Amino acid sequence: GGTTKNDTDKKSGSAVTGKADANAETKKGLKIAFLPKQVNNPYFTIADTAGKKAVEELGSTYQEVGTSSGTDTSGQVSYVNTLTQQQVNAIAVSAQDPGALCTALKQAMKNGVSVVTYDSDTKTDCRQVFVSQASAEDLGRTQVQQLAKQIGGKGEIAILSAAQTATNQNTWIDFMKEELKKPEYKDIKLVKVAYGDDDAQKSFQQTQGLLQEYPDLKGIISPTTVGIKAAAQYLSGSKYKGKVKLTGLGTPNDMRAYVKNGTVDAFELWDPNKLGELAARTAVALQSGQITGAEGQTFKAGGMGTYTIGKDGVVSLGKPTVFDAKNIDQYKF
């Protein structure tokens, strides 16, 4: 006997109930809290600062809390609990783990707190809306297209990811593999996915290892800002500089030196400013009753235009921007 996986009833779908009124007035004086994966992480700081600007513009108060480590799930849970205690109106959270925050977030929602996830999602029933930085499919496929162009559509490539458990990374990698199945990439061979755990030193050594194990490697995709930076730093100081192509997701500030010295031709990223702003505006819209998170609802996000909620309560920011030597100096983040 006993309780097994098959006995548990599968609940899914988003945690959405109630009706939305797209024309409801935007409430002021709300308390909106941002809970990034990690405080002091430059990427999240950009996003959250933009969020702050938007929140204040809308006449509400902003607050940022979070753990100083990106893998301190229990810490993140207790922050959700604390925020619930403090009776904030909405939480915008980038989840370190899709499941671990669920109990706490559901408790928060029960207490009337609106929950928006951004950058990194939880399970769909633990939040109302996920603000996605770009569709996972777009991100995965465009990175392959980038690299294919750089290496001339032929040769061995590898992926340098963050932690093995990083949900968004894994989704993108799945789409990369999908994309590679297309006939135009038949000469490209994905030899390995390595994990650098978003740690500079580890990513460094993983890059070295890739190059030693596959001397004919032509290119690397690193869909993580830490990874691409470490890989670029290694390549720029080694004999592989310029010979092995590198692309992926990185911030212009991080990558400027490597684009200019020829280590990296081009890479891409969405604008984290916009991500933060959209998360903030979504949170306020939820609290104002303009949306509830159901598919098909639309809302106006200030100067960013109108957004529509997609399947599973996902709002997508749009296509990523590609940075190269020509345009990189226009971006300062």
Partner 1 sequence: MTDTTTKATARRGPGGAVRWDTAVGALFVVLLLCSFSFVDNFGNALNVSFLIGNTLPIALIALPMTLLVVSGEVDLSVGSTAGLSGAVMGALWNEGMSIETIIPLCLLLGVVCGLINGLLVTRLGLPSLAVTIGTMAAYRGIAQIILGSDSVTDFPSQYLDFGAGRIGDTFIPYAALPFLVLLAIAVVVLHATPVGRSLFAIGASEEAARFAGIRVKRLKLSMFVTTGLLSALTGVFWALHYASARYDNATGLELSVIAAVLLGGIDFDGGKGTLGGAIAGVFLLGTLQNVMSLLNVSAQSQIVVTGVLLVVSVLAPRVGRQIAQSRARRKATAVPLRPPAATS
Partner 2 sequence: MTTTAEPVRSAPVSRTAGARTFIDKMFKARELAVLAVLVVMLGATQIYNGEFLSEQGIKDLLLNATILALVATGQAVVVITRNVDLSVGSVLGISAFAAGNWLNGGGSPLLAVLLAVALGALFGLLNGALVSLGKVPALVVTLGTLYIIRGIDSIWVGSRQITADALPEGFVGFGHDGIWAVPYLALLALVVLLAVGYYLRSYRSGRDLYALGSSPEAARLAGVPVRGRIMTAYLLCGALAGLAGALYLARFGNVDSATGNGYELTVVSAVVVGGVAFTGGSGSVYGAALGAVLLTSINSVLPAIGVSSVWVTAINGILLLLAIAVDRILALRVAAVLRKKAAQMRSARHD
Nearer to partner 1, 40 or 261 (CB): 40
Q: How far is the CB of 72 from partner 2 (least distance, A)?
A: 11
Q: What is the 3-state secondary structure (H, E, C) of the chain?
A: CCCCHHHCCCCCCCCCCCCCCCCCCCCCCCEEEEECCCCCCHHHHHHHHHHHHHHHHCCCEEEECCCCCCCCHHHHHHHHHHHHHCCCCEEEECCCCCCCCHHHHHHHHHCCCEEEEECCCCCHHHCCEEEECCCHHHHHHHHHHHHHHHCCCCEEEEEEECCCCCHHHHHHHHHHHHHHCCHHHCCEEEEEEEECCCCHHHHHHHHHHHHHHCCCEEEEEECCHHHHHHHHHHHHCCCCCCCCEEEEECCHHHHHHHHHCCCCCEEEECCHHHHHHHHHHHHHHHHHCCCCCCCCCEEECHHHCEEECCHHHEEECCCCEEEECCCHHHCCC
Which of partner 2, partner 1, none binds 194 (CB below 5-8 Å, type-dependent)?
partner 2
Nearer to partner 2, 240 or 299 (CB): 240
Q: How far is the CB of 39 from partner 2 (least distance, A)?
A: 8
Q: How far is the CB of 212 from partner 2 (least distance, A)?
A: 4
| The residue to which tokens 């998170």 are assigned | 293
Nearer to partner 1, 12 or 212 (CB): 12
**Which amino acid makes up residue 199?**
D
Nearer to partner 1, 99 or 152 (CB): 99
Which of partner 1, partner 2, none binds 209 (CB below 5-8 Å, type-dependent)?
partner 2
Q: How far is the CB of 64 from partner 1 (least distance, A)?
A: 9
Which of partner 1, partner 2, none binds 257 (CB below 5-8 Å, type-dependent)?
partner 2
Which of partner 1, partner 2, none binds 3 (CB below 5-8 Å, type-dependent)?
partner 1
Nearer to partner 2, 24 or 39 (CB): 39
Which of partner 2, partner 1, none binds 294 (CB below 5-8 Å, type-dependent)?
none
Q: Contact residues for partner 2 (CB under 8 A)?
A: 38-42, 44-45, 68-69, 164, 192, 194-196, 200-202, 204-206, 208-213, 215, 229-230, 233, 236-240, 253-254, 256-258, 260
Q: How far is the CB of 30 from partner 1 (least distance, A)?
A: 17
Nearer to partner 1, 104 or 285 (CB): 104
Order of strands, sheet of 129-132, starting from the edge strand that comes earlier in the sequence: 61-64, 31-35, 90-93, 114-118, 129-132, 314-316
Which of partner 1, partner 2, none binds 332 (CB below 5-8 Å, type-dependent)?
none
Q: Contact residues for partner 1 (CB under 8 A)?
A: 1-8, 10, 39-40, 63, 65-69, 71-75, 77-79, 81-82, 84-87, 97-100, 102-103, 123, 163-167, 170
Q: How far is the CB of 195 from partner 1 (least distance, A)?
A: 9
Query: Is 102 within 8 Å of 126 (Cβ atoms)?
Result: yes
Nearer to partner 1, 75 or 242 (CB): 75
